[in-house]
């Protein structure tokens, strides 16, 4: 991936109408989030958010909207990763997801960065009727040319290996370490922050219920009962992971990641690697919630995050 310094070069590096629109309007990107559970379906929270302890639910919600001026775009945009030869690219990709799920967003960050078009099926977290065909009852589920893939990290590894058959080991020891850090630490500090107060819980569930796959009745119940439930659940999660100050934990995680960069544009050096995409993916749903805004204001992660937004570029999601 090369750095683009002039508009003419940029327009050649990024193909399609979306690139032209970005040049005219500036870089614009929106990632939405949605889908979670409410008090009336508290028994499903642990499953939906992959919590081993049923009393603790792990959820990540948020909405992302980011734009920069066209003049800044010309200087700082990173071209997306050029896809491998066409015969190695997946032809039919369908993602079964919750928009709010951090693991689903990890997969989407990979697909977007590698310019892989994909359809999205938003799963109703109550009935899960959209994935009744599968023995696997969690998300994400990715169908690639008819093959079912599950677990976000395994999905990314399989796709990477499929697209780079000559590279059997996709990541270095450093990359592996930080990908594990995302799953084992970073995601655990998010829920106590986005549900830290009643107002923040309502902020999260307002967007969830607007964009999730809920019926009208489920939407009403989830917004208020769900926000209340997750407010109390987040306190248990906070205790479980020995978090004394939610924001301090979030800021600490952000600074830990910035320190890991050691002055590099990305952990991968001149272009993002799989660890960069994982961190970006799980942070993307919360970026423009109060917790995400506070994180950028009080830490040094903002510049890296902006570079990642430009590098990942427009979503490759297509209508089903």
Residues with a catalytic annotation lie at 98, 101, 103-104
Residue for token pair 């109703």: 124
Q: How many CB atoms lie within 10 A of CB 292?
A: 24
| Residue in 14, 41, 40, 18 with CA at minimum distance from that of residue 28 | 18
Interaxial angle between packed helices 173-184 and 246-261, expressed in degrees from 0 to 180 and rounded to the nearest 10:
170
Tokens of 172: 């270095």
Q: How far is Cα 132 from Cα 2, in angstroms, rounded to an integer?
A: 43
Q: From residue 56, give the alpha-carbon distance in Å to each of 126, 153, 224, 232.
A: 18, 22, 18, 9
State the alpha helices, DSSP H only, in the chain.
7-13, 17-25, 42-48, 70-76, 102-113, 152-163, 173-184, 191-194, 198-211, 216-221, 227-240, 246-261, 274-283, 290-298, 302-312
| Residue in 248, 256, 262, 268 with CA at minimum distance from that of residue 308 | 268
Q: How far is Cα 58 from Cα 238, in angstroms, rounded to an integer?
A: 10
- Proportion of the chain in helix, strand, coil states, percent, rounded to 5: 55, 10, 35
Q: How far is Cα 209 from Cα 59, in angstroms, rounded to an integer?
A: 14
Q: Contact, 295 vs 250, CB < 8 A? A: yes
Tokens of 133: 């065909």
């Amino acid at each position: 991936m090369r750095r683009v310094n002039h508009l003419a070069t940029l327009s050649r590096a990024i193909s399609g109408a979306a690139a032209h629109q970005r040049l005219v309007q500036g870089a614009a990107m929106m990632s939405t989030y949605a889908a979670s559970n409410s008090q009336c379906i508290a028994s499903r929270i642990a499953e939906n958010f992959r919590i081993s302890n049923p009393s603790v639910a792990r959820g990540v919600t948020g909405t992302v909207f980011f734009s920069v001026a066209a003049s800044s775009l010309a200087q700082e945009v990173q071209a997306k990763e050029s896809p491998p030869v066409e015969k190695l690219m997946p032809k039919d990709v369908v993602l079964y997801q919750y928009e709010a799920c951090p693991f689903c967003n990890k997969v989407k960050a990979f697909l977007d960065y590698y310019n892989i078009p994909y359809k999205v099926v938003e799963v109703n977290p109550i009935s899960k009727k959209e994935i009744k065909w599968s023995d696997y009852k969690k998300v994400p589920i990715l169908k690639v040319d008819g093959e079912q893939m599950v677990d976000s990290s395994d999905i990314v590894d399989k796709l990477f290996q499929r697209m780079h058959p000559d590279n059997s080991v996709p990541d270095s020891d450093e990359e592996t370490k930080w990908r594990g850090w995302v799953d084992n630490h970073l995601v655990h500090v998010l829920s106590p922050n986005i549900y830290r107060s009643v107002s923040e819980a309502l902020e999260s569930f307002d967007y969830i219920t607007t964009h999730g796959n809920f019926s009208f009745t489920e939407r009403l119940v989830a917004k208020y009962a769900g926000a209340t439930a997750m407010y109390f659940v987040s306190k248990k999660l906070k205790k479980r992971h020995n978090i004394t100050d939610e924001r301090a934990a979030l800021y600490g995680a952000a600074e830990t990641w910035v320190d890991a960069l050691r002055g590099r544009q990305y952990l991968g050096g001149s272009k993002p690697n799989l660890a960069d995409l994982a961190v970006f993916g799980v942070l993307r749903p919360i970026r423009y919630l109060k917790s995400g805004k506070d994180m950028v204001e009080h830490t040094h992660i903002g510049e890296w995050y902006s570079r990642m937004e430009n590098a990942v570029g427009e979503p490759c999601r297509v209508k089903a």
